[in-house]
């Protein structure tokens, strides 16, 4: 791959209960076999001369239960004020989980360097008191002096649809996911076709079909 130098960190790969362990890495003799019915998480990234990547996705290897779909679906599209502190944005991201009595003990996110450390500080989304400005783009304005922001999607990997419960989403949220998947298809599809990766292209086409 052009400009590729190496991985940006050791791949995090966990299934079943290991998928819930932050920064879990399988070890020889201690790893478990991925089986149907497992939830599987993979977090991987690369170092390129023109940037650094860190991509995480969670998939189900069989048929997810209604509880698993509910927990996975508690994601929201969020608009937030410019200049908001990282700890505040961390709380916003957790709100839909708190309503169901759920939470996680690690931070929500972190800064990513450009051909630097994949955990680039000091900015991060956690309870630490720190402003979080990089990587955000200006969004709507409410007519006053307050500016609002949202995230721009840079990671173009489909979200597994069978782990999503459409009944929990608003029409706007369903449209958001469908638009995101269309972007994945438009940007990644031609590259897979150019490389002759037909199996991957077929998978992409299936995973980006409209939700709901």
CA distances from 71 to 47, 94, 201 (A): 32, 12, 29
pLDDT bin (cut points 50, 70, 90) of residue 94 is confident
* Predicted pLDDT at 125: 59
Start-end of H helices in the chain: 66-73, 86-98, 171-194, 198-207
Write down the mean pLDDT value for the chain.
82
pLDDT bin (cut points 50, 70, 90) of residue 135 is very low
- The CB density around residue 198, as the number of other CB atoms within 10 Å, is 10
Q: Which residues contact 191 (CB under 8 A, 6 or more apart)?
A: none
CA distances from 197 to 4, 119, 154, 161, 203 (A): 19, 31, 22, 22, 10
| Whether residue 133 has pLDDT greater than 60 | no
Q: Residue 103 is encoded by which pair of tokens? A: 């939470």
Cα angle at 199 between 194 and 201, to 5 degrees? 50
* Predicted pLDDT at 139: 36
Return the domain boundaries, the chain. 1-62, 78-149, 157-211
* DSSP-assigned letters across all residues of 71-104: HHH------EETT-BHHHHHHHHHHHHHTTT---
CB-based contact 51:115 (threshold 8 Å): yes
Q: Which of 12-26, 64-78, 102-116 has the lowest mean pLDDT?
A: 102-116
Average pLDDT in the 39-54 region? 92
pLDDT bin (cut points 50, 70, 90) of residue 88 is confident
Higher pLDDT, 16 or 120: 16
- The helix (H) or strand (E) run that includes residue 57 is strand 55-60
Instruction: Supply the pTM of this predicted model.
Output: 0.71
CA distances from 61 to 38, 43, 114, 148 (A): 5, 16, 33, 38
Q: Which residues contact 117 (CB under 8 A, 6 or more apart)?
A: 52
| Whether residue 183 has pLDDT greater than 70 | yes
Q: Residue 51 is encoded by which pair of tokens? A: 């940037």
* Predicted pLDDT at 119: 72
């Amino acid at each position: 791959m052009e400009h590729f130098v190496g991985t940006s960190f050791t791949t995090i790969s966990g299934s079943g209960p290991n998928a819930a362990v932050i920064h879990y890495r399988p070890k020889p003799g201690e790893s478990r076999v991925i089986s149907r019915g497992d939830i599987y998480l993979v977090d991987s990234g690369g170092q390129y001369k023109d940037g650094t990547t860190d991509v995480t996705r969670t998939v189900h290897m069989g048929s997810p239960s209604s509880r698993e779909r509910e927990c996975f679906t508690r994601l929201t599209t969020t608009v937030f004020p410019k200049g908001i502190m990282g700890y505040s944005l961390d709380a916003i991201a957790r709100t839909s989980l708190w309503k169901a009595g759920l939470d996680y003990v690690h931070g929500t996110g972190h800064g990513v360097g450009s051909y630097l450390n994949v955990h680039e500080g000091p900015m991060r989304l956690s309870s630490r008191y720190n402003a979080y400005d990089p990587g955000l783009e200006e969004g709507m304005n409410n007519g006053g002096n307050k500016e609002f922001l949202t995230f721009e999607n840079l990671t173009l990997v489909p979200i597994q649809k069978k782990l999503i419960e459409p009944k929990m989403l608003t029409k706007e949220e369903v449209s958001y996911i469908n638009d995101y998947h269309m972007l994945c298809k438009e940007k990644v599809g031609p590259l897979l076709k150019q490389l002759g990766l037909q199996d991957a292209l077929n998978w992409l086409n299936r995973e980006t079909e409209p939700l709901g």
